[in-house]
Amino acid sequence: MAEDDLTQGGTIRPITRWGTPVMHQPTEPVTEFDEELHTLVRDMFATMIASDGVGLAATQVGVGLSLFIYACPDADEKLQVGVVCNPTVTLPEGEDRNLESAEEGCLSWPGGYAPLARPDHAVCTGQDPYGNDITVVGTGLLARCLQHETDHLGGTVFGDRLSKRVRRQLDAKVEELAWRYPDDWPVTPKAKYATPDPSPEL
């Protein structure tokens, strides 16, 4: 990622929850790659780090712009960090398409996880925070992250991809653990819990 380190110096913002209109509507394209955008990126990194996430879309801090960030390991466990504006994800087809089912979570529906099959390889194109064209090749968890965050920017949450039965189970778990997550989380940290989280939230 070309940066003046946009991963540092931000302010933590509350994470927007599913059910809020901005989470379920398509976003507007990024057209101004200016300091206002860079402030948003810094704040998103601060928010993602505070919430122990590996990816965060602008809609998850209540902003309807086509932008997401990530700090996520790939299939080789190498941490990849970046920002993608106006992303388009291309997925393999035919014999090249390999679905991997894994537990998936979402910072905007905190505490709940559900198995979801997604392709294990994804190519994301877009612009960096300075307007330069970029391509990100995702494998492993990064492939899932690129798909999950791009979904957000189209108004889709991963719960929309679940069967009714699995979605009910997910919602029940989120409700059960709601006491851990204040309305302004992660500005106010979540309450302590004895059992570690099973997987990263995106």
Which two tokens mark 91?
């997925």
**Alpha carbon separation from 54 to 50, 82, 127, 148, 179 (Å, rounded):** 11, 11, 20, 11, 23
Q: Which helix (H) or strand (E) holds 88?
A: strand 79-90
Residue identified by tokens 């099973």 is 198
Nearest residue to 70 via CA among 59, 84, 55, 85:
55
Residue from 35, 77, 95, 149 carrying the catalytic annotation: 149
> Can 3 be counted among the known catalytic residues?
no
CB 158 within 8 A of CB 148: yes
Residue positions annotated with a catalytic role: 149
